[in-house]
Structure 1
């Protein structure tokens, strides 16, 4: 998207939702490994988690909780792009351009919106399903049964556990990712291809770099989010700040970057896949609607 280009909300919703669903399914094993490595207890490396899961659960084990994330990620990406475009248009100057600072603000607003409408419920359910799957006798039989059980046991609040850290993480995620992506895209287009669309390979690369920057700046919020959504959260943590305090005092500062490698793998791929698929779908829909 060019900085001054206005996408139709339905186009953004459809393109974003499709890109989100594809990205979630392709990269889910890295999300599974990342989430498992962030729980408390015995420390396990990514290779150990993969080997043990394949041995005990098979390839399907690496996709525990996948449906929840695919559905949630589809909705999340749709909401993200629609709300980002909306906030971006509100913050644009008279020429339709958006400065990096305003792009950061638009991304923050988009992240907060998606956290409330889509991310928190899907992330909570996904995290509980992964946490439950590693136990000797899992209590949840799948997405629908797990969701119904959580709501029955804890009420609607049960699927909104960890809302605050999710809002903080998604706000930071979108702010950093969109700002990095938009800034790099404007720079590349301005210096090499003024007024022309970028090839998919370059879009993928820029999206990947945006994912890389996002991971390292927002990792502590992701760890706190995972802990607050685990099955034992209510017994161990009073709130997000208490959770952060316990992690820091009992496990050390580096624990806030637990799961960085699999999350890095996922978000670099995610950034490339989502922005590339989104741009291509927008291009096709835009061309079809004009013909």
Structure 2
């Protein structure tokens, strides 16, 4: 056994991990849904905010900042507009959370049995997080695409219901239509989750004794710091993913009707750089960080506490 052999954590049983991960994803998603809608709207907005001349050909709304965008959505679409796409998003987060934490647990346990070839703890966390994130992203991607398309709808609805959207995409775009931008998503999530879990596992022991933090735990603070570090590094790929997800026959029917035609991750990055500059790659970064921090904090705090509760309940049941 290597020197790192004493850092194997009690990750719980497979059932406990699935339940805790699913509940964590469900609660987290509902809390940050409005910020998610705002982020998607800002990411799909291509005209320059500093150049009024670029607004002349825009038929959709012009958003500026998180709070003003939120007010504009409520004014034009009602309070429900802030939760557009929440049904497929909730389904995605529950499935994603369960798959992610299960894959992370399994990867961690496999790496822990490498004996003398075992990696240092930060590398183990990075590899486990990257594998978990990539697998969870690929398996739940169609729900992610549906979430984006519903959130991108303005007052004029493109899809009338979740079932009709699935039927229409399958009929007009085929199976590939449900995976538009998937390569960008996997390319983004692998380094993101690797960095996130590596940073989280590094911060958590340091902050474990900070009982003065909200909820009396360092889990939330560790989740916030880890998410900010990881999200900033991979944000351009997240933006490209959103632009690719709304491609297809309905591209000009969303709230932003002037979304260009993008094809492929690399070509999309080059097109955005050429037409909108480096700043164009970071549209919506501020609200993304505002969303990512509480989302990760709620997710990790909920996961850790639900897992602990399930372990205690199972222990009592055996007594």
Tell me whether 1:53 sits opposite 2:73 in the alignment.
yes
Are the counterparts in 2 of residues 237 and 243 from structure 1 also a CA contact under 8 Å? yes
**Equivalent in the alignment of 1:159:** 178
2:10 match: secondary structure: coil
Q: Does structure 2 retain, via aligned residues, the 8 Å contact 1:166–1:225? A: yes
Separation of aligned partners in 1, 2:266 and 2:91 = 29
CA contact (8 A) 1:207 1:275 kept: yes
| TM superposition shift of 1:151 | 1.8
Equivalent in the alignment of 2:83: 63
Q: Distance in 1 between matches of 2:8 and 2:119?
A: 6
Q: Does 1:129 align with 2:150?
A: yes
Task: State which of 281, 289, 297 in structure 2 corresponds to 1:264.
Answer: 289
**Corresponding residue for residue 4 of structure 2:** none
Say if 2:127 is the partner of 1:111: no
Q: Is the 8 A contact 2:239 2:283 kept in 1?
A: yes
TM-fit CA distance, 1:3: 4.2
Secondary structure in 1 matching 2:107: helix
The Cα of 1:148 is off from its aligned counterpart by: 2.3
Report the Cα distance in structure 1 between the residues aligned to 2:151 and 2:168, rounded to whole angstroms.
15
The question of whether the paired residues in 1 share the 8 Å contact of 2:40 and 2:242 is answered with yes
Q: Which residue matches 2:34?
A: 29
- Give the C-alpha shift of residue 48 in structure 1: 3.2
Q: Secondary structure at the match of 2:218?
A: helix
Does 1:9 pair with 2:14?
yes
Query: What pairs with 1:67-106 in structure 2 (closer than 5 Å)?
Result: 67-92=87-112, 94=115, 99-106=121-128
Q: Which runs of 4+ in 1 moved over 4 A?
A: 93-98
Larger Rg: 2
2:266 corresponds to which residue?
A: 241
- The Cα of 1:281 is off from its aligned counterpart by 0.8
SS at match of 1:270: helix
Separation (CA, whole Å) in 1 of partners of 2:160 and 2:218: 42
2:136 aligned counterpart, secondary structure:
helix
In 1, the alpha carbon distance for the partners of 2:132 and 2:21 equals 13
**Structure 1 residue runs without a partner (length 5+):** 194-198
- Name the CA distance, whole Å, in 2 between partners of 1:28 and 1:99: 33
TM-score by length of 1: 0.89
